[in-house]
Amino acid sequence: MVFLFTIIRVALKALGLNKMRSILTMLGIIIGVSAVIAMVSIGQGAQATISEQIASAGSNMLFVTAGSYNRGGVRSGAGTSSSLTVEDYQAIARDCPAVRLASPMVRTGAPVVFGNENWSTNIQGVNTNFLAIKLWEMDTGTFFTEQDVSSAQRVCVIGRTVANNLFVGQDPVGQEIRIRNSPWRVIGILKAKGQSGMGQDQDDTIIAPYTTVQKKLLGITYINAIMVSAVSQAATGVAESQMNDILMQRHHIASMEDADFQVRNLSDMAELANNSNQVMTLLLASLAFVSLIVGGIGVMNIMLVSVTERTREIGIRMAVGATGGDVQFQFLTEAVVLAVFGGILGVACGVVGSKLISDSLGWPTLVSSPAIGMAFSFAGAIGIAAGWYPALKASRLDPIEALRYE
């Protein structure tokens, strides 16, 4: 123990005598470790957001979209075709036992004006089941009623982002906004929901009766999608096949390959997003690890130079009684001290870097202690690996030749 402390002091002193070199060598490790931490944090942040998303969106949710997007690029663009109708929605709501709630959906985007302010956002036309399907709640005001839907009233509820951008210092509820030159009354504000798993701001939206959006905004009779909530999470599969059956029958389609609609399960989508996200995280983390290894090679290089430069010192130490093991231990300690200091600074830089990334780019990041522990211990291991050979080389020097070395 006494010896260990002494050798650590000797190592610190030796590194301190060559400050610039030590700092530059450490820089490799610092960059490597902080890159690993930042990359893993970004990946885990995205993953956590997706998981949260599944929970908050309701894992019972399914989507039917018109068109099919996986036909080799022949008919791409889910929801752009006009094959889904209100009758399809009614059939699903009526005839699928596994479906608890359903809502038609039409979508568009438009600039919205209030006073001198304007804001471009997306407008979703739905029915009164929307909140229950999306597990969403009102913040203030009320949602529209069946009456509003059936009589196609120009009423809407707005997301938090829209409220913040259009109404500065005013209560939006009861105000009139203009969408494509027609007046709409704001009757409520949705609770803030945050970003979706894909990084979209879910609060940047306006929700209105689908009938109104169809007739007064788009002039269409078809719908873009049907959103559905199954009776339970376990029943999503059953609901999916029931909807497939009904729609195939209604659209006179013989096989799934010719289907002009697509049933999608939200948790499938989330899983897909999660998987691709994991691949991305792994890729980024391995690139970061490569830079950590490059940093380790830097440590090894400098240690080799150091052993050569200090041949005479090694000779002196051996002459006064240092064993090969003592010398090896000394140089190994120097390499490990370099790497561990680099690791500590790298962890600090990584944590700060992750914070900067999430603040400036708006990407969610999650700094996890396993990632820190992993990067840090990897840095230590690299120190040992990088120091081993130079230290061994030092320990094998012949004391007489080392003493004569100029």
Partner 1 sequence: MSANAMNAVQELVRGSGNTAGVGPEVALIEVVDLHKYYEMGDTRVHALRGIRLEIRRGEFVAIMGASGSGKSTFMNLMGCLDKPSAGTYLLEGTNVADLSRVELAHIRNERVGFVFQGFNLLSRTTALENVELPLIYARIRARERRRLAQEALLKVGLGERIHHVPSQLSGGQQQRVAIARSLVNRPSILLADEPTGNLDSRTSVEIMQVFQELNERESLTIILVTHEPDIAEYGKRIITFRDGQIVKDQPVLKRRIASEMLANMPPVED
Residues forming the site for partner 1 (CB under 8 A): 2-3, 5-6, 10, 17, 312-313, 315-326, 399-400, 403
CB of 10 to partner 1, least distance (A): 8
Residue 390 near residue 297 (C-beta atoms within 8 A): no
Q: Beta strand 155-158 with 205-209: parallel, antiparallel or unpaired? A: antiparallel
Cα distances (angstroms) measured from residue 57 to each of 135, 193, 196: 6, 9, 9
Q: Which residues pair with 230 in a beta bridge?
A: 99
Smallest distance, Å, CB 308 to partner 1? 16
Pick 351 or 403: Cβ nearer partner 1:
403
Least distance CB 37 / partner 1 (angstroms)? 36
Looking at the Cβ atoms of 10 and 253, the one nearer to partner 1 is 10
Nearer to partner 1, 296 or 315 (CB): 315
Angle at 190 between CA 186 and CA 194, to 5 degrees: 135
CB of 280 to partner 1, least distance (A): 49
Contacts 24+ apart (CB under 8 A), 240-243: 240/62, 240/265, 242/95, 242/96, 242/97, 242/98, 242/99, 243/62, 243/64, 243/92, 243/96, 243/99
Alpha carbons 381 and 375: distance in angstroms, whole number: 10
Give the nearer residue to partner 1 in terms of CB position, either 325 or 373. Answer: 325
Q: Would you say 2 or 74 has its CB closer to partner 1?
A: 2
Looking at beta carbons only, is 380 or 399 nearer to partner 1? 399
* Nearest Cα residue to 187 out of 141, 120, 247: 141
In the complex, the smallest distance separating the C-beta of residue 326 from partner 1, rounded to whole angstroms, is 6
CB 21 to partner 1: min, Å: 14
Nearer to partner 1, 221 or 323 (CB): 323
User: Which is closer to partner 1, CB of 51 or CB of 323?
Assistant: 323
How many C-alpha atoms does 179 have within 13 Å on its Cβ side?
26
CB of 7 to partner 1, least distance (A): 8
Radius of gyration of the chain (CA): 32
- Degrees to nearest 5, angle at CA 35 with 33 and 36: 65
Contact 114, 255 (CB under 8 A): no
Q: How far is the CB of 331 from partner 1 (least distance, A)?
A: 15
Q: Which is nearer to partner 1, 283 or 400 (CB)?
A: 400
- How far apart CA 199 and CA 209 sit, in angstroms, is 26
Strand, coil or helix: 5? helix
Number of DSSP helices (H) and strands (E) in the chain, helices first: 13, 10
Supply the minimum distance, in Å, between the C-beta of residue 9 and partner 1.
9
Distance CA 88, CA 45 (A): 39
SS3 169: coil
Q: Name the token pair of 369.
A: 């202690």
